[in-house]
Protein backbone atom coordinates (compact mmCIF):
# COMPACT_ATOMS: atom_id res chain seq x y z
CA UNK A 1 0.00 0.00 0.00
CA UNK A 2 1.28 3.47 -0.83
CA UNK A 3 -0.19 6.56 0.77
CA UNK A 4 1.45 9.65 -0.65
CA UNK A 5 1.88 13.01 0.94
CA UNK A 6 2.76 15.29 -1.96
CA UNK A 7 4.65 18.55 -1.92
CA UNK A 8 4.49 21.47 0.52
CA UNK A 9 1.73 24.04 0.65
CA UNK A 10 2.23 27.57 2.01
CA UNK A 11 3.42 27.61 5.59
CA UNK A 12 0.69 27.46 8.25
CA UNK A 13 -0.28 30.35 10.44
CA UNK A 14 2.10 29.75 13.38
CA UNK A 15 0.24 32.32 15.44
CA UNK A 16 -2.58 29.77 15.73
CA UNK A 17 -0.36 26.72 16.31
CA UNK A 18 2.13 26.83 19.16
CA UNK A 19 3.68 23.37 18.91
CA UNK A 20 3.64 20.53 16.38
CA UNK A 21 2.38 17.87 18.77
CA UNK A 22 -0.57 19.69 20.25
CA UNK A 23 -3.91 17.93 20.33
CA UNK A 24 -5.36 19.71 17.33
CA UNK A 25 -2.84 17.98 15.09
CA UNK A 26 -4.31 14.60 15.98
CA UNK A 27 -7.16 15.31 13.57
CA UNK A 28 -7.11 16.06 9.83
CA UNK A 29 -6.43 19.73 9.16
CA UNK A 30 -7.16 20.60 5.51
CA UNK A 31 -5.25 23.85 5.79
CA UNK A 32 -2.03 21.94 6.41
CA UNK A 33 -0.12 19.52 4.16
CA UNK A 34 -2.36 16.55 3.34
CA UNK A 35 -2.32 13.66 0.91
CA UNK A 36 -3.53 14.37 -2.59
CA UNK A 37 -6.77 12.41 -3.03
CA UNK A 38 -7.98 10.89 -6.27
CA UNK A 39 -11.50 11.00 -7.68
CA UNK A 40 -12.52 7.74 -6.00
CA UNK A 41 -11.77 8.80 -2.45
CA UNK A 42 -13.70 10.48 0.32
CA UNK A 43 -12.05 12.34 3.15
CA UNK A 44 -11.61 9.30 5.40
CA UNK A 45 -10.57 6.85 2.69
CA UNK A 46 -7.19 5.82 1.41
CA UNK A 47 -5.65 7.84 -1.38
CA UNK A 48 -3.97 4.82 -2.98
CA UNK A 49 -3.96 1.18 -1.92
CA UNK A 50 -1.84 -1.66 -3.23
CA UNK A 51 -3.37 -3.17 -6.36
CA UNK A 52 -6.64 -1.31 -5.76
CA UNK A 53 -7.67 -3.36 -2.72
CA UNK A 54 -8.80 -2.41 0.78
CA UNK A 55 -11.06 0.52 0.05
CA UNK A 56 -14.31 -0.95 1.43
CA UNK A 57 -15.81 -4.09 3.05
CA UNK A 58 -16.48 -5.72 -0.35
CA UNK A 59 -12.95 -5.02 -1.52
CA UNK A 60 -10.71 -5.95 1.43
CA UNK A 61 -7.03 -6.77 1.76
CA UNK A 62 -6.02 -10.35 2.49
CA UNK A 63 -4.88 -10.98 6.06
CA UNK A 64 -1.32 -12.25 6.21
CA UNK A 65 0.08 -10.17 3.38
CA UNK A 66 2.70 -7.48 3.95
CA UNK A 67 1.81 -3.81 3.61
CA UNK A 68 4.05 -0.76 3.39
CA UNK A 69 2.74 2.74 4.08
CA UNK A 70 4.93 5.35 2.39
CA UNK A 71 4.98 9.02 3.41
CA UNK A 72 6.88 11.47 1.19
CA UNK A 73 7.21 14.83 2.97
CA UNK A 74 8.35 18.24 1.91
CA UNK A 75 11.61 20.04 2.58
CA UNK A 76 11.93 21.04 6.21
CA UNK A 77 9.17 18.68 7.34
CA UNK A 78 9.84 15.72 9.63
CA UNK A 79 7.82 12.72 10.87
CA UNK A 80 6.35 13.01 14.35
CA UNK A 81 4.18 9.92 14.71
CA UNK A 82 2.31 6.94 13.25
CA UNK A 83 -0.66 5.02 14.64
CA UNK A 84 -2.56 1.86 13.67
CA UNK A 85 -5.94 1.43 15.34
CA UNK A 86 -9.62 0.52 14.92
CA UNK A 87 -11.18 3.05 17.30
CA UNK A 88 -10.28 6.75 17.39
CA UNK A 89 -10.98 6.77 21.10
CA UNK A 90 -8.25 4.19 21.64
CA UNK A 91 -5.41 4.88 19.21
CA UNK A 92 -2.75 3.09 21.20
CA UNK A 93 0.97 3.83 21.21
CA UNK A 94 2.85 6.10 18.85
CA UNK A 95 4.84 3.97 16.36
CA UNK A 96 7.29 6.73 15.46
CA UNK A 97 10.27 4.56 16.37
CA UNK A 98 9.12 1.94 13.86
CA UNK A 99 9.09 4.38 10.93
CA UNK A 100 11.61 3.50 8.22
CA UNK A 101 13.68 5.93 6.20
CA UNK A 102 13.06 4.81 2.63
CA UNK A 103 14.86 7.64 0.88
CA UNK A 104 15.43 11.39 1.04
CA UNK A 105 12.21 12.86 2.38
CA UNK A 106 10.39 9.48 2.30
CA UNK A 107 9.35 7.60 5.41
CA UNK A 108 7.42 4.37 5.71
CA UNK A 109 5.76 1.88 8.02
CA UNK A 110 5.72 -1.89 7.42
CA UNK A 111 2.60 -3.74 8.49
CA UNK A 112 1.50 -7.39 8.43
CA UNK A 113 -2.21 -7.29 7.64
CA UNK A 114 -4.34 -8.77 10.38
CA UNK A 115 -1.41 -9.09 12.80
CA UNK A 116 -0.07 -6.92 15.60
CA UNK A 117 -2.04 -3.68 15.82
CA UNK A 118 -4.22 -4.45 12.79
CA UNK A 119 -7.25 -6.73 12.99
CA UNK A 120 -8.89 -8.84 10.27
CA UNK A 121 -12.46 -9.91 9.80
CA UNK A 122 -13.53 -13.41 8.80
CA UNK A 123 -15.96 -14.85 6.25
CA UNK A 124 -18.53 -15.01 9.05
CA UNK A 125 -18.05 -11.46 10.39
CA UNK A 126 -17.04 -9.68 7.21
CA UNK A 127 -14.05 -7.42 6.66
CA UNK A 128 -12.69 -5.36 9.57
CA UNK A 129 -12.02 -1.63 9.29
CA UNK A 130 -8.60 -0.36 10.36
CA UNK A 131 -7.06 3.11 10.40
CA UNK A 132 -3.59 4.44 9.79
CA UNK A 133 -2.68 7.95 10.97
CA UNK A 134 0.54 9.69 10.03
CA UNK A 135 1.75 12.93 11.56
CA UNK A 136 4.54 15.27 10.54
CA UNK A 137 5.75 18.61 11.88
CA UNK A 138 3.45 20.32 9.38
CA UNK A 139 0.35 18.17 9.42
CA UNK A 140 -1.59 14.98 9.99
CA UNK A 141 -3.68 12.73 7.78
CA UNK A 142 -5.65 9.56 8.38
CA UNK A 143 -7.00 6.83 6.10
CA UNK A 144 -9.08 3.69 6.54
CA UNK A 145 -8.43 0.24 5.08
CA UNK A 146 -10.29 -3.06 5.38
CA UNK A 147 -8.80 -6.49 6.11
CA UNK A 148 -10.31 -9.96 5.88
CA UNK A 149 -9.14 -13.57 6.06
CA UNK A 150 -9.57 -15.79 2.99
CA UNK A 151 -12.93 -16.88 1.63
CA UNK A 152 -13.75 -20.22 0.03
CA UNK A 153 -13.40 -18.73 -3.45
CA UNK A 154 -9.99 -17.16 -2.92
CA UNK A 155 -8.99 -19.64 -5.63
CA UNK A 156 -11.43 -20.80 -8.29
CA UNK A 157 -10.89 -23.93 -10.41
CA UNK A 158 -12.90 -24.03 -13.62
CA UNK A 159 -15.33 -21.56 -12.03
CA UNK A 160 -15.76 -23.50 -8.74
CA UNK A 161 -14.39 -22.45 -5.31
CA UNK A 162 -11.34 -24.51 -4.37
CA UNK A 163 -12.21 -24.50 -0.63
CA UNK A 164 -15.17 -25.72 1.40
CA UNK A 165 -17.39 -22.73 2.32
CA UNK A 166 -17.74 -23.88 5.94
CA UNK A 167 -14.40 -25.42 6.90
CA UNK A 168 -12.21 -23.69 4.27
CA UNK A 169 -10.54 -27.07 3.73
CA UNK A 170 -9.52 -27.90 0.15
CA UNK A 171 -12.15 -29.62 -1.97
CA UNK A 172 -10.95 -31.92 -4.76
CA UNK A 173 -12.22 -30.50 -8.03
CA UNK A 174 -12.43 -33.01 -10.88
CA UNK A 175 -11.04 -32.40 -14.35
CA UNK A 176 -10.90 -34.92 -17.18
CA UNK A 177 -8.01 -35.87 -19.40
CA UNK A 178 -8.74 -34.44 -22.83
CA UNK A 179 -5.63 -35.29 -24.83
CA UNK A 180 -3.95 -38.43 -23.53
CA UNK A 181 -0.80 -37.67 -25.54
CA UNK A 182 -0.13 -34.26 -23.94
CA UNK A 183 2.19 -33.99 -20.88
CA UNK A 184 0.16 -31.24 -19.17
CA UNK A 185 -3.53 -30.56 -18.64
CA UNK A 186 -4.74 -26.93 -18.56
CA UNK A 187 -7.05 -25.88 -15.72
CA UNK A 188 -8.75 -22.47 -15.72
CA UNK A 189 -7.98 -20.58 -12.51
CA UNK A 190 -9.32 -17.41 -10.93
CA UNK A 191 -8.65 -15.52 -7.69
CA UNK A 192 -10.76 -13.70 -5.09
CA UNK A 193 -13.91 -14.43 -7.04
CA UNK A 194 -16.27 -12.58 -4.65
CA UNK A 195 -13.88 -9.75 -3.70
CA UNK A 196 -14.99 -7.23 -6.28
CA UNK A 197 -13.78 -3.79 -7.14
CA UNK A 198 -15.38 -0.88 -5.34
CA UNK A 199 -18.29 -0.47 -7.74
CA UNK A 200 -18.75 -4.20 -8.43
CA UNK A 201 -18.59 -3.64 -12.18
CA UNK A 202 -15.10 -4.51 -13.35
CA UNK A 203 -14.79 -8.10 -12.15
CA UNK A 204 -15.84 -10.94 -14.45
CA UNK A 205 -14.98 -14.19 -12.66
CA UNK A 206 -17.09 -16.34 -14.99
CA UNK A 207 -15.14 -15.39 -18.08
CA UNK A 208 -11.58 -14.32 -17.28
CA UNK A 209 -10.68 -14.45 -20.97
CA UNK A 210 -13.25 -11.70 -21.57
CA UNK A 211 -12.00 -9.65 -18.60
CA UNK A 212 -8.36 -10.58 -17.96
CA UNK A 213 -7.93 -9.00 -14.55
CA UNK A 214 -8.95 -5.46 -15.54
CA UNK A 215 -9.04 -3.29 -12.41
CA UNK A 216 -9.54 -6.33 -10.22
CA UNK A 217 -8.24 -5.99 -6.63
CA UNK A 218 -6.98 -9.52 -5.89
CA UNK A 219 -7.06 -8.81 -2.16
CA UNK A 220 -3.96 -6.66 -2.28
CA UNK A 221 -1.84 -9.53 -3.64
CA UNK A 222 0.48 -8.72 -6.49
CA UNK A 223 2.19 -12.05 -7.15
CA UNK A 224 1.13 -15.69 -7.08
CA UNK A 225 3.10 -18.94 -7.32
CA UNK A 226 2.21 -22.65 -7.64
CA UNK A 227 4.11 -25.72 -6.53
CA UNK A 228 3.62 -29.26 -5.27
CA UNK A 229 2.41 -29.36 -1.69
CA UNK A 230 4.32 -32.60 -1.06
CA UNK A 231 7.66 -30.95 -1.77
CA UNK A 232 6.85 -27.74 0.15
CA UNK A 233 9.53 -26.12 -2.02
CA UNK A 234 8.47 -23.15 -4.10
CA UNK A 235 9.21 -23.55 -7.78
CA UNK A 236 9.29 -27.36 -7.66
CA UNK A 237 6.62 -29.48 -9.28
CA UNK A 238 5.95 -32.91 -10.69
CA UNK A 239 2.19 -32.94 -10.28
CA UNK A 240 2.02 -29.30 -11.35
CA UNK A 241 3.99 -27.25 -13.84
CA UNK A 242 5.43 -24.86 -11.23
CA UNK A 243 4.97 -21.10 -11.40
CA UNK A 244 7.09 -18.77 -9.29
CA UNK A 245 5.90 -15.26 -8.44
CA UNK A 246 3.86 -14.59 -11.54
CA UNK A 247 1.68 -11.47 -11.72
CA UNK A 248 -1.78 -12.33 -10.41
CA UNK A 249 -3.48 -10.30 -13.12
CA UNK A 250 -1.69 -12.26 -15.87
CA UNK A 251 -2.40 -15.77 -14.55
CA UNK A 252 -5.62 -17.43 -15.74
CA UNK A 253 -4.49 -21.03 -16.28
CA UNK A 254 -2.30 -23.54 -14.51
CA UNK A 255 -1.02 -26.87 -15.79
CA UNK A 256 -1.20 -30.15 -13.90
CA UNK A 257 0.34 -33.47 -14.87
CA UNK A 258 -1.88 -35.13 -17.48
CA UNK A 259 -2.19 -38.40 -15.58
CA UNK A 260 -5.09 -39.74 -13.56
CA UNK A 261 -4.80 -39.09 -9.82
CA UNK A 262 -5.09 -36.49 -7.07
CA UNK A 263 -2.82 -33.46 -7.46
CA UNK A 264 -1.97 -31.58 -4.25
CA UNK A 265 -0.93 -28.00 -4.96
CA UNK A 266 -0.04 -24.93 -2.92
CA UNK A 267 -1.09 -21.50 -4.19
CA UNK A 268 1.05 -18.76 -2.60
CA UNK A 269 0.15 -15.07 -2.60
CA UNK A 270 2.49 -12.13 -1.98
CA UNK A 271 2.01 -8.38 -2.06
CA UNK A 272 5.61 -7.79 -3.21
CA UNK A 273 8.27 -9.76 -5.04
CA UNK A 274 10.15 -12.00 -2.59
CA UNK A 275 8.12 -10.70 0.35
CA UNK A 276 8.57 -12.84 3.50
CA UNK A 277 4.89 -12.24 4.27
CA UNK A 278 2.79 -14.66 2.30
CA UNK A 279 -0.50 -16.53 2.34
CA UNK A 280 -0.61 -20.20 1.28
CA UNK A 281 -3.81 -21.80 0.04
CA UNK A 282 -3.81 -25.60 -0.48
CA UNK A 283 -5.92 -26.85 -3.39
CA UNK A 284 -6.73 -30.31 -4.77
CA UNK A 285 -7.27 -31.28 -8.40
CA UNK A 286 -8.49 -34.79 -9.17
CA UNK A 287 -7.56 -35.73 -12.73
CA UNK A 288 -9.64 -38.57 -14.12
CA UNK A 289 -9.46 -40.54 -17.33
CA UNK A 290 -12.33 -40.13 -19.72
CA UNK A 291 -15.28 -42.18 -18.49
CA UNK A 292 -16.77 -41.80 -21.95
CA UNK A 293 -14.20 -41.40 -24.72
CA UNK A 294 -16.74 -39.46 -26.75
CA UNK A 295 -16.07 -36.17 -28.54
CA UNK A 296 -13.39 -37.72 -30.74
CA UNK A 297 -14.52 -41.01 -32.36
CA UNK A 298 -11.96 -43.50 -33.65
CA UNK A 299 -10.81 -43.27 -37.26
CA UNK A 300 -10.77 -46.35 -39.46
CA UNK A 301 -9.41 -47.18 -42.92
CA UNK A 302 -9.46 -50.50 -44.82
CA UNK A 303 -6.43 -52.73 -44.67
CA UNK A 304 -7.24 -56.30 -45.69
CA UNK A 305 -9.60 -59.19 -45.10
CA UNK A 306 -8.43 -62.60 -46.31
CA UNK A 307 -9.53 -66.21 -45.91
CA UNK A 308 -6.95 -68.71 -44.71
CA UNK A 309 -7.51 -72.47 -44.95
CA UNK A 310 -6.86 -74.71 -41.94
CA UNK A 311 -3.34 -76.05 -42.04
CA UNK A 312 -2.02 -73.10 -44.10
CA UNK A 313 1.26 -71.61 -42.82
CA UNK A 314 0.52 -68.15 -41.46
CA UNK A 315 2.55 -65.08 -42.33
CA UNK A 316 3.88 -62.25 -40.16
CA UNK A 317 1.45 -60.43 -37.81
CA UNK A 318 -1.36 -62.96 -38.32
CA UNK A 319 -3.36 -64.94 -35.71
CA UNK A 320 -3.38 -68.70 -36.12
CA UNK A 321 -6.65 -69.17 -34.17
CA UNK A 322 -9.98 -67.30 -33.98
CA UNK A 323 -10.17 -64.28 -31.65
CA UNK A 324 -12.15 -64.81 -28.45
CA UNK A 325 -14.44 -62.26 -26.81
CA UNK A 326 -12.70 -60.57 -23.87
CA UNK A 327 -9.35 -62.25 -24.59
CA UNK A 328 -6.50 -60.38 -26.33
CA UNK A 329 -5.85 -61.65 -29.83
CA UNK A 330 -2.40 -63.22 -30.17
CA UNK A 331 -0.12 -63.47 -33.20
CA UNK A 332 1.08 -66.86 -34.26
CA UNK A 333 4.68 -67.53 -35.24
CA UNK A 334 5.57 -67.23 -38.91
CA UNK A 335 5.13 -70.59 -40.56
CA UNK A 336 2.77 -72.02 -37.92
CA UNK A 337 -0.35 -73.67 -39.33
CA UNK A 338 -3.80 -72.13 -39.02
CA UNK A 339 -5.80 -74.22 -36.56
CA UNK A 340 -9.01 -73.89 -38.59
CA UNK A 341 -10.47 -71.97 -41.52
CA UNK A 342 -10.04 -68.28 -40.65
CA UNK A 343 -11.17 -64.90 -41.92
CA UNK A 344 -8.29 -62.60 -40.93
CA UNK A 345 -9.42 -58.95 -40.72
CA UNK A 346 -6.96 -56.06 -40.38
CA UNK A 347 -7.82 -52.35 -40.35
CA UNK A 348 -5.81 -49.19 -39.90
CA UNK A 349 -6.98 -46.81 -37.21
CA UNK A 350 -6.39 -44.11 -34.61
CA UNK A 351 -7.91 -43.73 -31.14
CA UNK A 352 -8.19 -41.06 -28.48
CA UNK A 353 -7.81 -43.38 -25.50
CA UNK A 354 -5.63 -46.45 -25.01
CA UNK A 355 -8.14 -49.32 -24.89
CA UNK A 356 -9.13 -49.92 -28.54
CA UNK A 357 -11.55 -52.65 -29.50
CA UNK A 358 -12.76 -54.11 -32.80
CA UNK A 359 -16.52 -54.39 -33.01
CA UNK A 360 -18.07 -56.90 -35.42
CA UNK A 361 -21.66 -56.88 -36.69
CA UNK A 362 -22.79 -59.78 -38.91
CA UNK A 363 -25.63 -59.95 -41.46
CA UNK A 364 -27.26 -63.20 -42.63
CA UNK A 365 -28.74 -63.80 -46.08
CA UNK A 366 -32.36 -65.02 -45.95
CA UNK A 367 -34.38 -66.24 -48.96
CA UNK A 368 -37.45 -64.08 -49.69
CA UNK A 369 -39.47 -65.13 -52.70
CA UNK A 370 -41.35 -61.82 -52.89
CA UNK A 371 -38.12 -59.85 -53.56
CA UNK A 372 -36.62 -59.58 -56.99
CA UNK A 373 -33.23 -60.53 -55.61
CA UNK A 374 -34.75 -63.39 -53.69
CA UNK A 375 -32.71 -62.39 -50.64
CA UNK A 376 -32.90 -60.03 -47.69
CA UNK A 377 -30.33 -59.43 -44.97
CA UNK A 378 -30.97 -59.55 -41.23
CA UNK A 379 -28.63 -59.30 -38.22
CA UNK A 380 -27.15 -62.72 -37.60
CA UNK A 381 -26.21 -62.40 -33.92
CA UNK A 382 -25.63 -59.58 -31.43
CA UNK A 383 -22.59 -57.36 -31.95
CA UNK A 384 -19.37 -58.87 -30.64
CA UNK A 385 -16.34 -56.87 -29.42
CA UNK A 386 -12.82 -58.26 -29.66
CA UNK A 387 -9.49 -57.13 -28.21
CA UNK A 388 -7.31 -56.82 -31.32
CA UNK A 389 -3.61 -57.07 -31.98
CA UNK A 390 -2.47 -53.45 -32.30
CA UNK A 391 1.30 -53.38 -32.12
CA UNK A 392 2.13 -52.73 -35.77
CA UNK A 393 2.53 -49.05 -36.65
CA UNK A 394 0.89 -47.67 -39.75
CA UNK A 395 1.56 -44.60 -41.88
CA UNK A 396 -2.16 -43.95 -42.26
CA UNK A 397 -4.42 -42.50 -41.11
CA UNK A 398 -2.50 -39.57 -39.66
CA UNK A 399 -4.58 -37.18 -37.57
CA UNK A 400 -3.12 -34.78 -34.96
CA UNK A 401 -3.77 -35.06 -31.18
CA UNK A 402 -5.94 -35.94 -29.38
CA UNK A 403 -5.69 -39.01 -31.66
CA UNK A 404 -2.94 -41.49 -30.85
CA UNK A 405 -0.45 -42.85 -33.36
CA UNK A 406 -1.92 -44.92 -36.19
CA UNK A 407 -1.68 -48.71 -35.90
CA UNK A 408 -2.91 -51.80 -37.67
CA UNK A 409 -5.51 -53.69 -35.61
CA UNK A 410 -6.00 -57.37 -36.45
CA UNK A 411 -8.48 -60.08 -35.43
CA UNK A 412 -9.38 -63.53 -36.81
CA UNK A 413 -12.92 -64.93 -37.19
CA UNK A 414 -13.93 -68.56 -37.40
CA UNK A 415 -15.26 -69.36 -40.88
CA UNK A 416 -17.21 -72.31 -39.46
CA UNK A 417 -19.01 -70.01 -37.04
CA UNK A 418 -19.78 -67.52 -39.81
CA UNK A 419 -21.14 -70.30 -42.03
CA UNK A 420 -23.32 -71.66 -39.23
CA UNK A 421 -25.04 -68.27 -39.09
CA UNK A 422 -25.25 -67.99 -42.89
CA UNK A 423 -23.23 -64.71 -42.70
CA UNK A 424 -23.13 -62.86 -46.01
CA UNK A 425 -21.63 -59.54 -44.87
CA UNK A 426 -19.61 -58.34 -41.90
CA UNK A 427 -19.37 -54.77 -40.58
CA UNK A 428 -16.12 -53.98 -38.79
CA UNK A 429 -15.78 -50.87 -36.59
CA UNK A 430 -13.15 -49.56 -34.22
CA UNK A 431 -14.56 -48.91 -30.76
CA UNK A 432 -13.25 -46.51 -28.11
CA UNK A 433 -13.86 -47.96 -24.63
CA UNK A 434 -15.38 -51.14 -23.27
CA UNK A 435 -19.06 -50.26 -22.99
CA UNK A 436 -21.16 -51.46 -25.93
CA UNK A 437 -22.42 -48.54 -28.03
CA UNK A 438 -26.05 -48.31 -29.03
CA UNK A 439 -26.79 -48.89 -32.69
CA UNK A 440 -26.30 -47.04 -35.00
CA UNK A 441 -22.71 -45.95 -34.49
CA UNK A 442 -21.71 -43.18 -32.09
CA UNK A 443 -25.01 -43.23 -30.18
CA UNK A 444 -23.94 -45.09 -27.03
CA UNK A 445 -21.59 -44.63 -24.08
CA UNK A 446 -18.61 -45.86 -26.12
CA UNK A 447 -17.63 -44.25 -29.42
CA UNK A 448 -17.28 -46.27 -32.61
CA UNK A 449 -15.90 -45.43 -36.00
CA UNK A 450 -17.75 -45.73 -39.24
CA UNK A 451 -18.09 -49.31 -40.48
CA UNK A 452 -16.08 -51.14 -43.13
CA UNK A 453 -18.05 -53.78 -45.04
CA UNK A 454 -16.39 -57.16 -45.60
CA UNK A 455 -17.93 -60.07 -47.58
CA UNK A 456 -18.71 -63.16 -45.57
CA UNK A 457 -18.69 -66.79 -46.70
CA UNK A 458 -22.32 -66.71 -47.87
CA UNK A 459 -21.65 -63.70 -50.10
CA UNK A 460 -18.97 -65.67 -51.89
CA UNK A 461 -21.27 -68.66 -52.19
CA UNK A 462 -23.85 -66.38 -53.83
CA UNK A 463 -21.21 -65.15 -56.31
CA UNK A 464 -21.34 -61.56 -55.10
CA UNK A 465 -17.55 -61.77 -55.05
CA UNK A 466 -15.13 -63.91 -56.98
CA UNK A 467 -13.97 -66.98 -55.04
CA UNK A 468 -10.97 -66.15 -52.92
CA UNK A 469 -11.14 -62.39 -53.55
CA UNK A 470 -9.56 -60.04 -51.00
CA UNK A 471 -12.31 -58.05 -49.37
CA UNK A 472 -10.65 -55.15 -47.60
CA UNK A 473 -8.09 -53.61 -49.89
CA UNK A 474 -4.71 -54.30 -51.43
CA UNK A 475 -3.31 -55.78 -48.22
CA UNK A 476 -1.05 -54.34 -45.58
CA UNK A 477 0.20 -57.18 -43.36
CA UNK A 478 3.46 -58.88 -44.20
CA UNK A 479 5.68 -58.20 -47.22
CA UNK A 480 6.44 -59.60 -50.65
CA UNK A 481 3.78 -61.84 -52.15
CA UNK A 482 1.71 -62.27 -48.99
CA UNK A 483 -1.48 -61.13 -50.70
CA UNK A 484 -0.96 -63.56 -53.53
CA UNK A 485 -0.24 -66.27 -50.99
CA UNK A 486 -3.53 -65.48 -49.25
CA UNK A 487 -5.45 -65.47 -52.52
CA UNK A 488 -4.08 -68.89 -53.44
CA UNK A 489 -5.29 -70.30 -50.13
CA UNK A 490 -8.68 -68.58 -49.84
CA UNK A 491 -11.90 -70.45 -49.14
CA UNK A 492 -14.28 -70.86 -52.06
Read out DSSP for 181-229?
T-SEEEEEEEE-TT---TTS-S--TT-TTTSSSTT--GGG--EEEEEET
Which residue did the predictor score with more confidence, 31 or 350? 350
Fold of the CATH domain 155-288? Immunoglobulin-like (2.60.40)
* Spatial contact of 423 and 455, defined as CB atoms under 8 Å apart: no
E strands, 32-183, are 61-62, 66-72, 79-85, 100-103, 106-112, 128-136, 140-148, 155-157, 160-161, 172-176
No. of H helices and E strands in the chain? 3, 26
Mean pLDDT, residues 15-44: 48
Euclidean distance between CA atoms 360 and 354, whole angstroms: 19
What is the per-residue pLDDT for 410? 93
Q: Is 430 exposed, middle or buried (0-12, 13-18, 19+ CB in 10 A)?
A: buried
* Spatial contact of 213 and 205, defined as CB atoms under 8 Å apart: no
Euclidean distance between CA atoms 347 and 351, whole angstroms: 13
Question: Mind listing the pLDDT tens digit for each residue in 256-304?
Answer: 999 989 999 999 999 889 999 999 999 999 998 765 444 578 889 988 8
User: What pTM does this model have?
Assistant: 0.53
Between 4-18, 84-98, 178-192, 250-264, the lowest mean confidence (pLDDT) is in: 4-18
* Spatial contact of 367 and 446, defined as CB atoms under 8 Å apart: no
**Percent of the chain residues topping a pLDDT of 90:** 31
DSSP summary character for residue 487 = H
| 155-288 shares the fold of 23-148 | yes
Listed by start position, the domains of the chain span: 23-148, 155-288, 299-488
* Strands 278-288, 172-176: pairing kind: parallel
Residue 94, pLDDT above cutoff 90: yes
Q: Edge-to-edge strand order for the sheet containing 407-414?
A: 299-308, 342-350, 407-414, 389-393
Fold of the CATH domain 23-148? Immunoglobulin-like (2.60.40)
Amino acid sequence: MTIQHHGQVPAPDHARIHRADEARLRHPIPALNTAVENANVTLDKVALLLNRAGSNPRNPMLAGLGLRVEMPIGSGDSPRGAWLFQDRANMGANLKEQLLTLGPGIFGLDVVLGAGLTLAGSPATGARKNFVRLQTAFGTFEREFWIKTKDADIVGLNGQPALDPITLAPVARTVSIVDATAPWLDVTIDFFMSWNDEFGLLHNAENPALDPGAAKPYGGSKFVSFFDTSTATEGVGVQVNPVTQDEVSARHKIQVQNTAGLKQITVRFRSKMDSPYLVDVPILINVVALSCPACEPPVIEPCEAVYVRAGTPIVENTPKSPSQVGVPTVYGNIGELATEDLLVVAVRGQFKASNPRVRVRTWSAMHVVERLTGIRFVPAVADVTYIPIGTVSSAAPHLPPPYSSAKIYTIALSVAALRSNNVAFIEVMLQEGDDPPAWPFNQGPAMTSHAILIPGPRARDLCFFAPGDVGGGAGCCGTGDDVADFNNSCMT
